[in-house]
Copies of this chain bind each other. A is one copy, B any other.
Amino acid sequence: MTDLTQNDASDAEAGAAGPDFPPPPLAQQQRMVEAILFAAAQPVTVRDLAARLPAGCDPAEALAGLRRLYEGRGVGIERIGDGYAFRTAADLSFLMQTETVDQRRLSRAAVETLAIIAYHQPVTRAEIEEIRGVAVSRGTLDQLIEMEWVRVGRRRMTPGRPATFVVTEGFLDHFGLESARDLPGLSELRAAGLLDSRPPDEGMALPIVPDTDDEPGEGAGDVADDLFEDD
């Protein structure tokens, strides 16, 4: 390989000097094509290569050889439109991504809605609103569905056949529960000191008012659109 390089270097100079000299050997032409493709910001056509290589070179052949050389490697030469460019092998695309994890807290509305679903499942939207005393925004339910902690259960066999909501396996997994029945009851909560004597922060208003403290959800919107009617 070292010998080759040395020969190539002198050949390159010869090639660049003018058309009177024989073209550099194919291995050297491949080196040239390799360097040009690597440094190019855009895909390079065979015509471009021909214009840049010393006279007498055969860029198409050099390119074909180079493509074979890169077969099965971490990068390969791809044809893009009329040109050619180096691209990362498709199976390694996962290396080109880094994942950042955002830790976020659930909104109060989401935690409350989730708690009601967990304790009362299967539960309808109207029942959730009755317990919370405020309307449940679509965004809140969408978010819980998107997180895969809540899913839509069977429809209730009552007038209007409302959809019900239940918690998922993922929910049980996240909260370390074997089943929703493992959730402690009210008296246990009191015994555990969880019922602090602090009055609730939010308005005590009993009339149902639109819940504005969580942003409208995205993504799972299709599901929700399908399921809920707006007032």
Whether the pair B38, A72 counts as a contact (CB closer than 8 A) is: no
Instruction: Confirm or deny: A4 has a beta carbon within 8 angstroms of a beta carbon on chain B.
Output: yes
The interface stretch among A27-35, A149-157, A161-169, A175-183 is A27-35
Q: How far is the CA of A35 from the CA of B72 in the complex (A)?
A: 12
- Which of B4, B8, B36, B89 meets A95, CB within 8 Å? B36
Total identical chains: 2
Q: How far is the CA of A171 from the CA of B182 in the complex (A)?
A: 59
Instruction: Confirm or deny: A98 has a beta carbon within 8 angstroms of a beta carbon on chain B.
Output: yes
Q: How far is the CA of A136 from the CA of B131 in the complex (A)?
A: 74
What residues on B are CB-neighbors of A1 within 8 Å?
71-72
Whether the pair B92, A31 counts as a contact (CB closer than 8 A) is: yes
Q: Given A74-B30, A74-B34, A89-B31 in contact, is the A96-B2 Cβ separation under 8 Å?
A: no
What residues on B are CB-neighbors of A16 within 8 Å?
94
Total number of A residues with any Cβ neighbor in B under 8 Å = 37
Q: How far is the CA of A65 from the CA of B178 in the complex (A)?
A: 32
What residues on B are CB-neighbors of A32 within 8 Å?
74, 92, 95
What residues on B are CB-neighbors of A89 within 8 Å?
31, 35
CB distance from A94 to the nearest CB of B (A): 5
What residues on B are CB-neighbors of A121 within 8 Å?
none
Instruction: Confirm or deny: A39 has a beta carbon within 8 angstroms of a beta carbon on chain B.
Output: yes
Whether the pair A92, B12 counts as a contact (CB closer than 8 A) is: yes
CB within 8 Å of B: which A1-55 residues = 1-2, 4-5, 8-9, 12-13, 16, 30-36, 38-41, 52-53
4 new A-B contacts, CB < 8 A, other than A1-B71, A38-B86, are A32-B95, A34-B73, A41-B99, A52-B98
Across the A-B interface, give the 3 residue pairs with the lowest CB-CB distance, nearest first: A34-B74, A31-B74, A5-B72
- Give 27 CB contacts A-B under 8 Å: A1-B71, A1-B72, A2-B72, A4-B72, A5-B71, A8-B72, A8-B91, A12-B92, A30-B74, A31-B72, A31-B89, A32-B74, A32-B92, A33-B74, A34-B73, A34-B75, A35-B75, A35-B88, A35-B92, A35-B95, A35-B96, A36-B74, A38-B86, A39-B75, A39-B88, A52-B98, A53-B95
